[in-house]
Structure 1
């Protein structure tokens, strides 16, 4: 059963969980307001917003060994990333002068072939700054998505701060698993109290251990895992509508290659680095970008806080596109790029991508499409993009235990030669080895999971649309922009697992959310259904501002998972009934 305990990881007992339980509306508000009854219980959180306890411990150890009086530090996977953080702090600080320094640290290389399974040589960048500048460093960590992962922090802690334990934990875990495997091969057969043949049970244990842990523990396979991920992404993303196949071939000229795919530690790091690439390409005078449609919060923050700025068209509808075209034609706007989500989070609007592409070709700007919500099995956005960014943390992984992101550069883009040159020269592989191994394993059944989520979501949609308590449901198949979604929908694709909805009475929203017996916390695309009061969680300090873009403060967002369809519908119906009962 989903936990309703504040601060418990989602999934439960998962040390590197991506989500965390905020089980009630009041708890979500309490978290946003920093109330002690909530914050004191938060042992975990979404990794870009909540610095994992292992990373906090590592930072304290590094501060103790290398810091100066009054300094704090933040840890990044490369020296160059740390330098970007340093420049951000120095640019944004309110102090006349501030000392921000960067230290590079390295872990040891494997001694021999056997150690390559558990030891990996890596370099990191550590930014030291006065305590007064911690919030700025944290802003960079959150917005850029370039901080170290908790698994990397765990490894660095053992190598840099606790060297005596460097080779023991993984070795012990591997030995323990091998011992279980050996023990499970015992020829003795017995019948358990449930009537299960113990030998059959042991065989299942073997399979479980091999599939869940066998490859993940071996660091030397990380390069192969990354190749497999890039091939998986390029192969799926390159599928087009059958009816458009010939047109697609003629337009693109060549097939997408795995070398056009770049992996990042988070989805936000993908968007951040897409923006960085375009600013470099448009030197010496980068132009502003357009954010088309209301996006996830940090996409807009990246465009606002890094570079020359952003022109925000928050409604993201056809009228907004009319406005953009007029401003471009009249010379009121001269832009570097247009960023959009497809569909958008949380209102599930789909932009008119063919029209955007025509404007981009006419006026010479780049198009960056974040297709995380749709996912590249459901929609085919590459023909309309110069760069496709994705959060692999979501449905691509599903297990909610690893972060990841990707960039695809379109071989048919007019900017392709410049983008290819940029990434060949500037790209750094910051994706931690263990995270790549977990993500590769998680994503093997991506297609099957996506199909089931699509199917279950339609049943959930029908329930919500027909509830007399609910005033509006946001979902691509019932949106005013459905025609734009259908224009890019793949032949076997669906409409995804994310939907948002409003109640006629805000009190019903609170009652429903508090009563519903599903996981409740940040993130989406998980293998389990996950809900949150989206506006409260993501925009609590700007609820009046976001109302201008049709984001209601009482909006609930649900990401449908892999549960049995009938059971999920029953759970949702019970909570609707609970909300209805308070009117009697």
Structure 2
């Protein structure tokens, strides 16, 4: 069967190309590296982008209107802006921008360079009688953008394209208040956003999914709508969970297990108590012995753990920590366990009995159509930290997720289970093929990273959901990674892989990305450290879509043949 070619133009989104899409196709390994470096030739061709990377589209238009019309006399022409609906973004930006130890010297901002303003958008559809939405605007010199953009990227609470579009249709009014990175007091109170049917529907949908096929029906039955909170992105849910943990008085280092999403790493690394990382979670790695030794040392010094965070399974190497052993250790040393289940998803795994909090990027498989962002926190009612966490979240954070985004994601989620069946099937079929290839001496494939083919498979199987009529075969999710024996063969494979190239996972069409090299490759020493726990630079991450198995296999066989040619050249 001939391999289907990708006809989407460079920099455009996955089809169908409609407003508010969140993907962009940038074919080729070198192009991905150029994007990472901020190459103007690449950025200028983007008609779409993942919204948490940079303000884009309607969000950029709104920022330009605010700077150019409302504050033209107060912001220099070389300034950019990012916008939020919660005032704590000001403090977050001030702290982030001043973290000189984590920034290049040319990106560190002086306090006075950060300019804080407040704007009301009036007449925003769906936002009450006057339709008022209060926006907290952070202005900064574009040349020092990397020193403040992490506030948008890592915390994930920025204004969405739908909210920006709605604000642009209304009337913008200046709130008479000014501040900067040196002066921050008496900040006007937020209006927050109205919750709609989409919010309520999605909360109920998540509760329903948590109860379906539960390993412990009694525990799952205790979860109600009020135990679910929703946020603009997956990272926003992690940020709000983090703020709640700190807000309820949790002190000490934050422990990270295994490979985690880079924005999670950045958020935690630069947090108040700092981070302790344990990379290898494989069964034979000695993880729990090493952890307990470290915990005992912290205990002797009078220190505790703020909380522990891990992904299940991990992105992008798909390892699964032993959650039973982790729960026992957490009970012994009294710290909360937070698990990001985005990769395994509500369809396949039930981690509720072992955790205190579940965080999820609902942008991914739950949405499935790459046209809206969202995130959720689920609090486990049986957790000893439940009451304090819940009261902190309720008292400190209002709704920051726009109703139109919630409505779109809720609508998308209706076929989540049927889509998940196809994603599970496609990823397993592809992984079986690649695993067989890895056993051949002629193949450039070293290994396929997918839960059934890893040492930690038993840990994953231990938390799989029970089969149900609606979903008879729980599986392993849409994400896998392929390890190659050299950068040359990996590049030959990727450059000839006729799927969409770019970030994101859980979409309706297959996406690939040289994740480790592109995300971490520019950081000194990162590649060597990542190798210590299996996140190799010669690795291609694949998020399968809803295509046929035959089409996927033909596509990957063609790319693999090109990699084999490259291997023969080198021999």
TM range (shorter): 0.7 to 0.9
Q: Whose radius of gyration is greater, 1 or 2? A: 1
2:134 to 108, 123, 147: 123
2:237 to 261, 264, 270: 270
What corresponds to 2:254 in structure 1? 289
Structure 1 position 73, deviation (Å): 4.9
Matches within 5 A, 1:216-255: 223-241=196-214, 244-245=215-216, 249=218, 252=219, 255=222
Q: Secondary structure at the match of 2:367?
A: coil
CA shift digits 1:299-358 (9 cap, x unpaired): 111111122110011223341222111222343662111100000001100011111111
What corresponds to 2:529 in structure 1? 545
Matches within 5 A, 1:388-427: 388-427=358-397
Matches within 5 A, 1:65-76: 65-67=70-72, 68-70=74-76, 72-76=79-83
**Residue 140 (1) aligns with residue 147 (2):** no
- Preserved CA contact (<8 Å) 1:512 1:578: yes
Distance in 1 separating the partners of 2:35 and 2:143: 23
2:170 to 159, 168, 173: 159
**Residue 98 (1) aligns with residue 103 (2):** no
CA shift digits 1:136-157 (9 cap, x unpaired): 3211111101111111122222
RMSD: 2.5
Matches within 5 A, 1:172-571: 223-241=196-214, 244-245=215-216, 249=218, 252=219, 255-282=222-249, 286-318=251-283, 319-330=286-297, 331=299, 334-467=304-437, 468=440, 469=443, 470-492=445-467, 493-542=474-523, 543-571=527-555
Distance 1:253 1:145, change over 3 A: closer
Q: Secondary structure at the match of 2:349?
A: coil
CA shift digits 1:255-305 (9 cap, x unpaired): 10011000000001111111111011125xx21110011111111111111
Distance in 2 separating the partners of 1:103 and 1:36: 29
What corresponds to 1:183 in structure 2? none
> Which structure is higher in helix share?
1
Q: Secondary structure at the match of 1:20?
A: coil
**Residue 13 (1) aligns with residue 53 (2):** no
Distance in 2 separating the partners of 1:561 and 1:453: 6
The range that moved more, 566-575 or 336-345, is 566-575
- Preserved CA contact (<8 Å) 2:14 2:509: no
Structure 1 position 116, deviation (Å): 7.7
- Preserved CA contact (<8 Å) 1:3 1:12: no
Distance 1:221 1:451, change over 3 A: farther
1:83 to 90, 109, 121: 90
- Preserved CA contact (<8 Å) 1:85 1:127: no
Q: Secondary structure at the match of 1:394?
A: coil
Distance in 1 separating the partners of 2:124 and 2:85: 19
What corresponds to 1:33 in structure 2? 37
The range that moved more, 119-128 or 42-51, is 119-128
How many residues align? The count is: 516
- Preserved CA contact (<8 Å) 1:21 1:520: yes
What TM-score, normalized to structure 1? 0.83
Distance in 1 separating the partners of 2:565 and 2:267: 44
CA shift digits 1:105-135 (9 cap, x unpaired): 2222479xxx889994322211234556533
Distance in 2 separating the partners of 1:280 and 1:524: 32
Where in structure 2 are there 5+ consecutive unaligned residues?
101-107, 174-192, 468-473
Structure 1 position 41, deviation (Å): 1.6
The range that moved more, 63-72 or 532-541, is 63-72
Distance in 2 separating the partners of 1:73 and 1:552: 36
What corresponds to 2:184 in structure 1? none
Structure 1 position 521, deviation (Å): 0.8
Distance in 2 separating the partners of 1:341 and 1:573: 30
